[in-house]
Amino acid sequence: MSRRTAADLVRSSMSEELTPEAVAALPGATVLEFGASWCGICAGARPSIDRALAERPGLRHVWVEDGPGKRLGRSFRIKLWPTLVVLRDGREVARLVRPRDVDAVRAALDGGAQPSPGA
C-alpha cells in the first residue's frame, strides 16, 4: 500500500482526517476552513467565503469538518465556527473567526495567502 501525502489528502473529499503533522508539511499557501455541515452560521458565511476564495484560484482550500474529538481542530484551538486559518508553508499567518462579509475574508486571505506551488 502506498503512503498518502498531505497533498493527496487535500485533494480527497476529506473523508480521511488530516493530521496536524500533515498540515505542517503543506507547502505554500493553504486556508483551513473549520466548521460543521449542520452549522447555520457556517452556511450564512458560505457566500462570502466562496466569493473571496474564487478570487484566488491558486489558493489551496481545505474544508475541515470539526467537532468533539477532532484532533486537527483542537491543535488549532478552534472554539467557534466557521474559523479560517491561513497558513504559509504549514505555519499560521492569519485567522478569521465567524466572518461577517467578503471584505473580512479577503483581508484574512491577504494576510498570508499566495498561490501554492504548482497551483
The fold of 19-110 is Glutaredoxin (3.40.30)
Domains of the chain by residue range: 19-110
- Above 50 in pLDDT, residue 8? no
Indicate the pLDDT class of residue 16, thresholds 50, 70 and 90: low
Cell readout for 110 is 491577504
Long-range residue pairs from 8-17, CB within 8 A, at least 24 positions apart, any chain = 10/60, 10/62, 14/62, 14/63, 14/64, 14/65, 17/70, 17/71, 17/72
Give the pTM. Answer: 0.81
Quote the percentage of the chain above a pLDDT of 70: 80
pLDDT over 90 (residue 105): yes
Q: Which residue has the higher pLDDT, 119 or 111?
A: 111
How confident is the model at residue 111, as a pLDDT?
Answer: 82
Closest Cα to residue 117, out of 51, 60, 68, 33?
60
Q: Is residue 9 scored above 70 in pLDDT? A: no
